[in-house]
Amino acid sequence: MVNNFIKEIKLPKTIPIFPLKGVVMFPDTYLPLNIFEPRYLKMIDQAISNENRLIGMIQPKNIKESDDEFSLFEVGCAGKIIKFEETEDNRYLITLKGLSRFNLISESINNKNFKEANINWKNFSKDLDLKEKTSDFSTLKTTLKKYFKLKKIRANMDAIDSFNDYNFADQITMICPLEINEKQLLLETFSLTKRINLLQTLLDGHINENNLSELSKH
């Protein structure tokens, strides 16, 4: 079933991009953002005045706290602003709905001091025709509980057990404190099935690494 949300979107070749370390978004997921930096407030102003209301989320490479010069990974994901709220202290609270991943062609800083990018949607055209399929995530859920325990993350395990959205792995990737390169690898993996398997492997790796570390202490 083709998502009606997708049908309504005209895909531009240039979009504003929001580089954010450790944050990835996937098609048909939701990403809440708290916007407070002046240049990104201007980015939101521009985006909501545009018919498509798209923003590209993309991870920077090797960014430092005081360094404004950084390169970007070659793959990001565009989302449409579907919720927008202005706070009394001049912040924007927005929610993006993931549309499609893209390849970064080039990027530059515009006269409003935020980045815009020329992008190509072609390699991820299947993102625009999502077919929802449920899967058995029992093994992944069991591993996820072990991972949360390892990372001392408090989570509602009953909610996890009842969660059966077809893109469960993508949503977990977004919230888990995985390494930047691990999140990027998952983002760049084309098929959802392969992302599920890769996420399982990555979580197993963290758990096994911790187990070996504990053994070496005794």
Kindly report the CATH number assigned to the domain that includes residue 102: 2.30.130.40
> What is the pLDDT, as a whole number, of residue 155?
87
Same domain as 149, residue 96: no
Same domain membership, residue 117 and residue 161: no
197-212 pLDDT, tens digit per residue, is 999 999 999 999 877 5
| Cα–Cα distance for residue pair 141/188, rounded to 1 Å | 22
pLDDT (tens digit, 9 = 90+) per residue, 75-110? 999 999 999 999 999 999 999 999 999 999 999 999
Q: Could you tell me if 116 and 153 lie in one domain?
A: no
Give the CA distances from residue 106 to residues 15, 25, 31, 99, in Å, rounded to whole numbers and listed in that order: 11, 20, 24, 20
pLDDT at residue 64, as a whole number: 62
* CB neighbour list of residue 48: distance below 8 Å, 6 or more residues apart: 81, 84
205: domain range? 138-216
- Model confidence over 177-201: pLDDT tens digits? 999 999 999 999 999 999 999 999 9
**Res. 218: pLDDT tops 90:** no
What is the distance between the alpha carbons of residues 166 and 187, in angstroms, rounded to a whole number? 16
CA angle 13, 15, 20 (to 5 degrees): 135
Q: Which of 170, 187, 190 is nearest to 57 (CA)?
A: 187
Same domain, 21 and 123: yes
Same domain (yes/no): 13, 96:
yes
Residues 198 and 91 in one domain: no
pTM: 0.89
C-alpha to C-alpha distance for 213 and 3, rounded to whole angstroms? 46
End residue of a domain, out of 74, 108, 128: 128
Query: Contact at 8 Å (CB) between 119 and 56?
Result: yes
Residue 120's DSSP bridge partners are 103
Do the Cβ atoms of 3 and 28 come closer than 8 Å? yes
Q: What is the mean pLDDT of the chain?
A: 90
Shared domain for 41 and 143, answered yes or no, is: no
* Same-domain check for residues 90 and 142: no
**Is there a single domain that holds both residue 77 and residue 147?**
no
Same domain, 158 and 65: no
Amino acid identity of residue 87, one-letter, is T
Q: Over 80: is that where the pLDDT of 31 sits?
A: yes
How many structural domains are present in the chain? 2
Q: Let me know whether 104 and 19 are in one domain.
A: yes
The verdict on residue 133 lying in a domain is no
Residue 13 confidence class, pLDDT cut points 50, 70, 90: very high
